[in-house]
């Protein structure tokens, strides 16, 4: 039986469990389940997939209540049945998963454990990390839950063999962070902007340059100028910005909100690449009165070369051991039935032709 990612068959394969909690059990993404042969399936386009994503699991779920998240405390349904970035996350016995990763180690490029807001999250993430490190040497990231951490605990992750830390900042201004992440009508765990940035700074000091990343989401009410300000701030800190497109989760508080237009999304992808890899400064971009990006100043051929390179439009994720793309997380920003918003592989010539049209480069570049 085969299926594309995101349209999963409703069956439970051998070793998939219902009701287990971490650290003895862990959820894995649908794509990871297929890559590790826990589920049958195929991708809509062939590409090498070696990034395995794990997610902690508890009976009471995540105690935060972010307005856009599929795991939000107040989203209807049992935690076990909730999706995360719009795909299923089957529950697997941790030791069985580690053994399977060890068997397929040559095909793996990056592992990532996603924490949730729970009083047990640090303890259990550390335990799962240690079990993995006994048998698997693939580079390992943690997408942390800042409310559960302090500097000593971050140092504990480093000592256990974690090489990268991710922080799901998501909202790129303090006002939007407060609106979407601390407005908790059902009494979920309120999150703190200052705490998140404290964890960013501590992680940067402990793990070093370009060993920390912040997730940023396009479509939570921010302006393009807000996004560029975060890209500049993180680049100055030598911290990666990873880009996601808001993808509404049904029945979440933002379940009916629209996602960004493809043109806006493509322009932000391109601008981010120009900031991070080509040193573009504030004076190289023009914004209208509402903060929307309306112009890029520079040599047309140089900007077009960045577009034709294709990397700007690939999935942002932690690198593999040699710096190659390690985590490609397909379908994080769009449904399988929709056009690719970010590509878990290098875009081909047909893809790039479509991207150029979506960018409307003729109206965007101001030749100097």
Question: CATH number, domain at 255?
Answer: 3.20.20.70
pLDDT at 14: 41
Domain-located, residue 364 = no
Q: Please state, in angstroms and rounded to a whole number, the distance separating the CA atoms of residues 213 and 315.
A: 14
pLDDT at 340: 81
Q: For the chain, what is the domain count?
A: 1
Dihedrals φ, ψ of 219, to 5°? 125, 15
Domain-located, residue 132 = yes
Q: Please give the DSSP secondary-structure letter assigned to residue 54.
A: E
Give the lowest-confidence range in 27-41, 195-209, 279-293, 302-316. Answer: 27-41
| pLDDT tens for each residue of 53-81 | 999 999 888 888 898 887 877 776 665 66
**pLDDT greater than 80 at residue 8:** no
pLDDT at 78: 62
Instruction: Give 186's pLDDT tier (boundaries 50, 70, 90).
Output: very low
What order do you get walking across the sheet with 91-93 strand by strand?
Answer: 91-93, 25-28, 51-55, 110-114, 140-144, 164-170, 212-218, 240-245
Domain-located, residue 3 = no
| pLDDT tens for each residue of 98-127 | 999 999 999 999 999 999 999 999 999 999
Domain-located, residue 142 = yes
C-alpha angle 311/317/318, rounded to 5°? 115
Closest CA to 240 of 293, 165, 303: 165
Domain of 133 in residue numbering reads as 25-260
Q: Please state, in angstroms and rounded to a whole number, the distance separating the CA atoms of residues 283 and 262.
A: 25
Domain-located, residue 290 = no
Q: Which two tokens stand for residue 265?
A: 């999304």
Q: Please state, in angstroms and rounded to a whole number, the distance separating the CA atoms of residues 133 and 178.
A: 37
**pLDDT greater than 90 at residue 336:** no
Domain-located, residue 179 = yes
pTM beyond 0.75, yes or no: yes
Instruction: Give 4's pLDDT tier (boundaries 50, 70, 90).
Output: very low
Q: Please state, in angstroms and rounded to a whole number, the distance separating the CA atoms of residues 261 and 224.
A: 12
Domain-located, residue 15 = no
Closest CA to 162 of 93, 113, 122, 227: 113
Domain-located, residue 363 = no
Average pLDDT, the chain: 88
Q: Please state, in angstroms and rounded to a whole number, the distance separating the CA atoms of residues 145 and 117.
A: 6
* More confidently predicted of 79 and 208: 208
Q: Please state, in angstroms and rounded to a whole number, the distance separating the CA atoms of residues 180 and 148.
A: 19
């Amino acid at each position: 039986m085969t299926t594309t990612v995101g349209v999963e068959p409703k069956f439970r394969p051998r070793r998939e469990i219902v009701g287990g909690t971490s650290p003895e059990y862990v959820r894995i993404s649908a794509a990871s389940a297929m890559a590790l042969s826990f589920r049958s399936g195929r991708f809509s386009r062939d590409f090498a997939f070696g990034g395995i994503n794990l997610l902690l699991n508890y009976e009471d779920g995540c105690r935060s209540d972010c307005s856009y998240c599929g795991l939000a405390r107040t989203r209807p349904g049992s935690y076990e049945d909730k999706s995360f970035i719009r795909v299923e996350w089957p529950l697997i016995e941790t030791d069985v998963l580690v053994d399977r990763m060890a068997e397929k180690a040559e095909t793996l490029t990056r592992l990532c454990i996603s924490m949730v807001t729970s009083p047990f999250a640090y303890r259990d993430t550390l335990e799962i990390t240690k079990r993995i490190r006994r048998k698997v040497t693939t580079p390992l990231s943690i997408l942390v839950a800042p409310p559960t951490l302090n500097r000593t605990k971050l140092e504990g992750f480093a000592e256990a063999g974690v090489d990268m830390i991710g922080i799901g900042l998501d909202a790129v201004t303090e006002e939007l962070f407060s609106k979407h992440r601390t407005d908790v009508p059902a009494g979920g765990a309120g999150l703190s902007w200052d705490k998140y940035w404290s964890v960013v700074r501590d992680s940067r000091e402990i793990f070093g340059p370009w060993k920390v990343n912040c997730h940023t989401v396009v479509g939570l009410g921010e302006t393009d100028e807000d996004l560029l300000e975060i890209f500049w701030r993180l680049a100055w800190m030598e911290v990666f910005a990873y880009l996601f497109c808001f993808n509404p989760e049904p029945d979440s508080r933002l379940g009916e909100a629209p996602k960004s237009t493809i043109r806006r999304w493509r322009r932000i992808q391109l601008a981010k690449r120009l900031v991070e890899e080509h040193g573009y400064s504030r004076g190289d971009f023009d914004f209208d009165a509402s903060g929307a990006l309306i112009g890029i100043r520079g040599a047309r051929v140089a900007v077009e070369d960045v577009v034709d390179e294709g990397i700007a439009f690939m999935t942002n994720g932690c690198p593999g051991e040699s710096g190659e793309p390690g985590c490609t997380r397909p379908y994080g920003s769009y449904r399988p039935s929709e056009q690719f918003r970010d590509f878990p592989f290098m875009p081909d010539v047909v893809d790039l032709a479509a991207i150029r049209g979506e960018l409307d480069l003729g109206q965007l570049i101001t030749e100097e």
